[in-house]
A and B are shown apart, each in its own frame.
Chain A
Amino acid sequence: MSEAMLRLIDVSRVFQLGGGLFSQPRLLHALDGVSLDLHKGEVLALVGESGSGKSTLSRILLGLDKPTAGDVLFDGRSIRKLPRREFTQRVQPIFQDPYSSLNPRKTVRQIIEMPLILQGRHSRAERLRRVRELLDLLRMPARMLDAYPSQMSGGQRQRVAIGRALISRPEVVICDEPTSALDVSVQAQVLNLLMELRAELNLTYLFISHDLAVVEYIADRVAVMQAGKIVEIADVDGLFSRPQSDYTKNLLASALVIPEMADVEPVAGQK
C-alpha cells in the first residue's frame, strides 16, 4: 500500500504572462513546490477552488506540460527519462467534458481502440475483441460499437471516455472532474462504475474535483490545494471531521451550505 506509483517532488510550474520587448513579464506561480505521493491502489482526491493549480498539476502528470522545477517519478523513475509510449500506456486520462473529449467524427470503436493502435502490437481482430470486452465491462450494448458520440447521452459518452482510458490496461488513471459535466443521476452511475472498475482492474486514481460530496464518497485520501500549494493532506474521514488548515475549514463550510439551498426561497423573477 505504501508503494508510491506517482511521486511529485517539489514540483513548480511558473507561467510568464505578457512581457514584450520592454516590459517585464509577470510571473504566475501555478504550482509552487508541490510534493505528493500517489500510492498504489488508492484514490487520492485533489480539491481546491478554480485557479488553485489542479489542472496544471494534472497536465504535468499526463506529460502534457513540463514542470519548471522539481521532478515527477513514476514507479521510481523520472518521467523525463521514461519513454513516452510506455508512460502513456500506464497512465491514462479521463476528461471533464464528454461532449468535447470525444472526436465527433469517430465511432465508439475507433475512439476506444486508439490507445491500442498507438501501442502497435495488436492485430485488428484482437483490438476488436478487447473493445467488445470493455463495452461489456462498461455495461454498454455491443451495437454501440459503430455509434458516433452525437448519438449518445452524456453518461454514455463518459463511459466511452472511461473505456478509452482503460483499454490499454493502465495502472494510474488521472480523472479531471469526470462527473462535473453530467446530470446528478448520471454522476452516481459513473462514479459507481469507476469504483467497480477500480476493484476489478486494480487501478489507482488521482481524482480531481471541486465537488466535496463526490470526494467524500469516492476518495481514500484528500489533498487540498490553494494558490499552487498543498495546504493539507489527510485521510478522507480525518479531513472531513477534523480539518486542520483554515482554508480547508472554509472550503468545507462553504460546501455545507448546499443542502440548505433546497429550502431557500426562489430568487424573485425566477420560477
Chain B
Amino acid sequence: MSSPSLEQGLSNQIADLRPTPSQLMWRRARNHRGLAIGSLIVFIVLLCGLAAPFIAPHDPYAQDLTKRLLPAVWSENGTWEHVFGTDALGRDYLSRILYGARISFLIGISAALGSCLIGAALGLLAGYYGGRVDSVVTFFVSVRLALPVVLVALATVSLFGGKLWIVVAVLSLLLWDRFAVVVRSATMQLRSQEFVVAARAMGCSTPRILLGELLPNLVGPLVVVGSLEIAHAILLESALSFLGLGVQPPTPSWGLMVAEGKGMIFFDSRLIALPGAAIALLVLGINLVGDGVRDVLAPEGKA
C-alpha cells in the first residue's frame, strides 16, 4: 500500500507547479503603493492627452484678442467658460494644457524609444563581444557624456529648425548613454551563462543569440531605464522649449507655455504655475512608476 501512495504523492508534487515569474510579479505589483499612485497619475495625464480633442472646451490655437489674460475660475472675475483663464493671445489655457500633455508624451516616449534603440544596440554589442568592440563603445559613451546637452541641442535646432521630429532626434541622440551602460553590464553577466554557450553549440547565429536569447533577459532593466528616461526627456524638452530651442510656437508645449508666461510672473503667476505644475506632476508620476517597476522586477535589489 505504500508504493501507490508514494506515487500519488510524487505526482501531486509535480502537479503543484510553482507560480510563474509573471504571477509573482503581479503579486508584488499589486502591493506596491508608489507604483499605484504613479500609474494613476500617468494614466490620468495620458487620458487627458489622448482625449484632448473631445474634452478640451476650446481650440488650443484659436486666438481671441478681445479675451486676453482672462483670470481662472477661482479668481475674482473668473468664469466657467475659461476654467484656467486665457493667455496673452486670448487662447483657452485649459485646452492648451490638455493638448500640451500630448506633446510631452509624444516627445518623451519617442525620445526614450529612440535612445533605447541606440543604447541597447551598442550595449549588447559591447557586452557580448567585449574586447575592442567594448573599448569603442565605452569611448562613445564617454564622448557622449562629455557633450553639453543644451549646447548641442541649441546648435542642432538653430541649424535645422525646431520641428518636432528634430527635437525627438536630438534627444534620442543625447539620452542613450544610460541604456548603453546598463545593457552592457547586464549582457556581460549573461554572456558567461551556459545557456548562451548552449545556444552557440546548437548552432544559433550571433544575431539570434543577441535578440532571441539575451534581449528577453534584458527587458527588466530596459523598462526601468526607459521609464526614467521618458521623464528625463520630458524635462529636457520643457527646458529646451523654455529656452526657445525646442518645440516652436504656437504648438502647445508646457515648457513653451512657461516661457511665454514668464514676462507676466509678477502679475499673473497662474500662467507659469499651471504648466509648471503639470510638468512636475507628470515627471513625478513617471518616476514613481519607474521606481515601482524596478522594485517589482528585481525585488532583491530593493534598498
A residues sitting closer than 8 Å to B (CB atoms) are: 62-64, 84-85, 87-89, 92-93, 95-97, 100-106, 114-115, 118, 141, 143, 147-148, 150-151, 161, 164
Structural contact, A150 and B18, CB atoms closer than 8 A: yes
Structural contact, A84 and B217, CB atoms closer than 8 A: no
How far is B19's CA from A114's CA once the two chains are assembled, in angstroms? 24
Q: Which 7 pairs across A and B sit closest by C-beta, in order of nearness?
A: A88-B203, A101-B194, A105-B216, A62-B201, A100-B194, A151-B18, A93-B201
CB neighbours (8 Å) of A141 from chain B are: 14-15
Q: Nearest chain B CB to A146's CB is how many angstroms away?
A: 9
Structural contact, B195 and A103, CB atoms closer than 8 A: yes
Q: Is B136's beta carbon under 8 Å from chain A?
A: no
Choose from B194, B202, B219 the contact partner of A92 (Cβ within 8 Å): B202
B residues sitting closer than 8 Å to A (CB atoms) are: 14-15, 17-21, 193-195, 197-204, 208, 213, 216-217, 219
How far is B201's CA from A101's CA once the two chains are assembled, in angstroms? 11
Choose from A84, A95, A118, A151 the contact partner of B198 (Cβ within 8 Å): A95
CB neighbours (8 Å) of B14 from chain A are: 141
Q: Nearest chain B CB to A182's CB is how many angstroms away?
A: 14
Q: A92-B202, A100-B193 are in contact. List 20 more A-B contacts (CB 8 A).
A: A64-B197, A64-B200, A92-B201, A95-B194, A96-B194, A97-B194, A100-B194, A101-B193, A101-B194, A101-B198, A103-B199, A104-B217, A106-B216, A143-B15, A143-B17, A147-B20, A151-B19, A151-B20, A161-B198, A164-B198
Structural contact, A115 and B216, CB atoms closer than 8 A: no
Q: Nearest chain A CB to B9's CB is how many angstroms away?
A: 15
Structural contact, B203 and A118, CB atoms closer than 8 A: yes
Choose from B198, B217, B219 the contact partner of A93 (Cβ within 8 Å): B198
Q: Which residue of A lies closest to B214 (CB)?
A: A103
Choose from B18, B20, B204 the contact partner of A118 (Cβ within 8 Å): B204
Choose from B17, B18, B200, B213 the contact partner of A103 (Cβ within 8 Å): B213
Structural contact, B201 and A103, CB atoms closer than 8 A: no
19 contacts between A and B (CB under 8 A): A88-B202, A89-B203, A92-B201, A92-B202, A93-B198, A93-B201, A95-B194, A95-B197, A100-B193, A100-B194, A101-B195, A102-B195, A103-B199, A105-B219, A114-B199, A114-B202, A118-B202, A118-B203, A164-B202
How far is B202's CA from A87's CA once the two chains are assembled, in angstroms? 9
Q: Which residue of A lies closest to B19 (CB)?
A: A151
Structural contact, A147 and B17, CB atoms closer than 8 A: yes
Q: Which residue of A lies closest to B14 (CB)?
A: A141
Q: Which residue of B lies closest to A91 (CB)?
A: B201
How far is B189's CA from A104's CA once the two chains are assembled, in angstroms? 14
How far is B14's CA from A221's CA once the two chains are assembled, in angstroms? 36
Q: Nearest chain A CB to B291's CB is how many angstroms away?
A: 23
CB neighbours (8 Å) of B204 from chain A are: 114, 118
CB neighbours (8 Å) of A85 from chain B are: 203
Name which of B21, B193, B194, B203 has the most chain A CB atoms within 10 A of its CB.
B203
How far is B194's CA from A257's CA once the two chains are assembled, in angstroms? 32
How far is B202's CA from A85's CA once the two chains are assembled, in angstroms? 9
How far is B36's CA from A104's CA once the two chains are assembled, in angstroms? 28
How far is B168's CA from A259's CA once the two chains are assembled, in angstroms? 70
CB neighbours (8 Å) of B21 from chain A are: 104, 148, 150
How far is B204's CA from A148's CA once the two chains are assembled, in angstroms? 21
CB neighbours (8 Å) of A100 from chain B are: 193-195
Say whether, besides A95-B198, A96-B194, A103 and B20 are in contact (CB < 8 Å): no
CB neighbours (8 Å) of A102 from chain B are: 195
Structural contact, B20 and A148, CB atoms closer than 8 A: yes
Say whether, besides A101-B195, A106-B216, A115 and B202 are in contact (CB < 8 Å): yes
How far is B199's CA from A62's CA once the two chains are assembled, in angstroms? 11
Q: Which residue of A lies closest to B23 (CB)?
A: A151
CB neighbours (8 Å) of A84 from chain B are: 203
How far is B92's CA from A81's CA once the two chains are assembled, in angstroms? 74
Q: Which residue of A lies closest to B13 (CB)?
A: A153
Structural contact, B217 and A105, CB atoms closer than 8 A: yes
CB neighbours (8 Å) of A143 from chain B are: 15, 17
How far is B213's CA from A118's CA once the two chains are assembled, in angstroms? 13
